[in-house]
Structure 1
Amino acid sequence: MYDVLIVDDDFMVARAHERIVEQLPGFRVVGVAHSGAQALELIGSLQPQLVLLDIYLPDTTGLDVIRRAREHGHDLDFLVLSAARESETVSAALQGGIVSYLLKPFKISELQARLAGYAERRRVLGRPGDLSQSDLDQALGSASGVAPLPALPKGLSKETAVLIERALKEADPDLAASECAEELGLSRVVARKYLEHFVLLGQAAVALRYGQTGRPQRRYSWLGPVSR
């Protein structure tokens, strides 16, 4: 589980980002800050693994938050979500060691993909022992910026993954695990395993749909091609 701190001076925007994060398995929001000072205070007290950070803050800049957090020795990652597009700002953020930079406004699926990619990088880099070049390409992305598809987890087959991928591509605009299972003649549990796998790879997005009663339904949609 990755603990996430959201930093944005706009209360409505921060709340929207919080909802997106909470929809992704493996992530939870542990705090929300609306200023640089509050962000640094919560970084120290909550020790999040990831900070979703705006550049424009009322009392300072996101760049200063990154710098001061590093100076205090906090071990965490920053993912910038900002309308700031000046080359100097982006360069400074990259030099500060951010994991990604997403320009506002963006689609929900774009942030979901960044978070899923972050989880995959952490998973690869968290493996014990030496890493191969394939591991490094998978964690950091190739020169083209596209990470190769990792091997399927144990118990999942390539043939079924292809069928699930096709169903996702043909969904209009999304589908639930139960619908995918019925279409392909699989159990709902099996279909959901493959769907969640694509989400973790950043190839699919998931959103919650709330009905009149009962638990919200997880709806999956296709984001991009998978290298084979």
Structure 2
Amino acid sequence: MIRVLVVDDDFMVAKVHSGYVARTPGFTVVGVAHTGADALRAARSLRPDLVLLDIYLPDMDGIAVLQELRSQDGDTDVIIISAANDVDTVRRAMRGGVLHYLIKPFSYSALFDQLRHFATLQEKLGRLAVAGQADVDQVFGARPRSAANLPKGLTEQTADLVERVLRQHPEGLSATECAQVTELSRVSARRYLEHFTSTGKAEVTLKYGGTGRPERRYHWLNR
């Protein structure tokens, strides 16, 4: 079992996230903390495999907790789960070595995908004596997308934006909804969505209702 410490200042949110973890096969919650100090004490005593860490804590922010965890003699991995969505915080978390960053609110399926990805990587690394490049790519994420692989007229920066929005909406988005969130035109949003679909990174489902054509809804495939 992968042992998880849940850290969130909101008691009800911590309870919900703990329930998410408990529902995921192969994972168990070994502790819950509501302050940064309690999180550090729990990490030292419980030695969890994974910490689900909030940023907004009453005594210290989550980045400070992350830095302290990294200075401790331990092998705990961290996934940030927070409403903090400013780029500076995301960048600091990335530099601190977090595995992923989930922005609240998120669905169980979004956390489930990350937990299962973590479990898969742990299992894979546990079997390896020497890592090949493909193994390293899987651990650290896909290699940067090359602009040369994008159709003419599409840019890497906008593709990253559309990908991020799709990942944040596991329930799926229509081209119109994606355009509203990304502030792109509907035509542009659909071009990126169709590109991701044609390359196997996203899939399309049809939503029927009323008259006219069914609505195309795009879902990012977490593989």
TM range (shorter): 0.5 to 0.7
What's the secondary structure of 2:143's corresponding residue? coil
Count of aligned pairs between the two proteins: 150
Q: Give the corresponding residue for 1:142.
A: 142
- The farther-off stretch of 5-14 and 63-72 is 63-72
TM-score by length of 2: 0.63
Identity of aligned residues (%): 46
- The DSSP-based 3-state class of the residue aligned with 2:129 is coil
| 8 A Cα contact 1:3 1:49, kept in partner | yes
Question: Residues 104-161 of structure 1: CA distance to partner in whole angstroms, max 9, x if unpaired?
Answer: 011110011011111111112222321222222333321268xxxxxxxxxxxxxxxx
In the alignment, the residues of structure 2 paired with residue 58 and residue 82 of structure 1 have an alpha-carbon distance, to the nearest angstrom, of 14
Q: Distance in 2 between matches of 1:135 and 1:142?
A: 11
Larger RCO, structures 1/2 (Cα 8 Å, 6+ apart): 1
Task: Measure how far apart 1:25 and its partner are.
Answer: 1.0
Alignment pair present for 1:102 and 2:107: no
Q: Is the 8 A contact 2:77 2:98 kept in 1?
A: yes
1:33 equivalenced with 2:25 (yes/no): no
Contact 1:8 1:53 in 2 (8 A): yes
- The match for 1:51 is 51
Structure 1 residue runs of 5 or longer lacking an equivalent are 146-222
Q: Give the equivalent residue in structure 2 for 1:130.
A: 130
Matches within 5 A, 1:201-212: none
Local SS of the residue matching 2:120: helix
Secondary structure of 1:85 counterpart = coil
Shift of 1:6: 0.2
- Alpha-carbon deviation of 1:3? 0.5
| 1:23 lines up with 2:23 in the alignment | yes
* TM-score, L = length of structure 1: 0.62
Please name the residue that 1:179 is paired with: none
Q: CA deviation at 1:39?
A: 0.4
Q: Report the equivalent of 2:89.
A: 89
Cα displacement (A) at 1:62 = 0.5
Q: Matched residues in 2 for 1:226 and 1:16: separation?
A: 23
Aligned partner of 2:176 in structure 1 is none
Aligned counterparts of 2:221 and 2:84: Cα–Cα separation in 1: 29
State the alpha-carbon separation in 2 of the partners of residues 94 and 7 from structure 1. Answer: 18
Tell me by how many angstroms 1:226 deviates: 7.7
Distance between the aligned counterparts of 1:114 and 1:225, measured in 2?
Answer: 12
Q: 1:226 to 1:6 in 2, by over 3 A?
A: closer
CA RMSD in angstroms comes to 1.8
What secondary structure sits across from 1:32 in the alignment?
strand
Whether the 8 Å contact between 1:124 and 1:139 is mirrored in structure 2 is no
Displacement, 1:34?
0.3
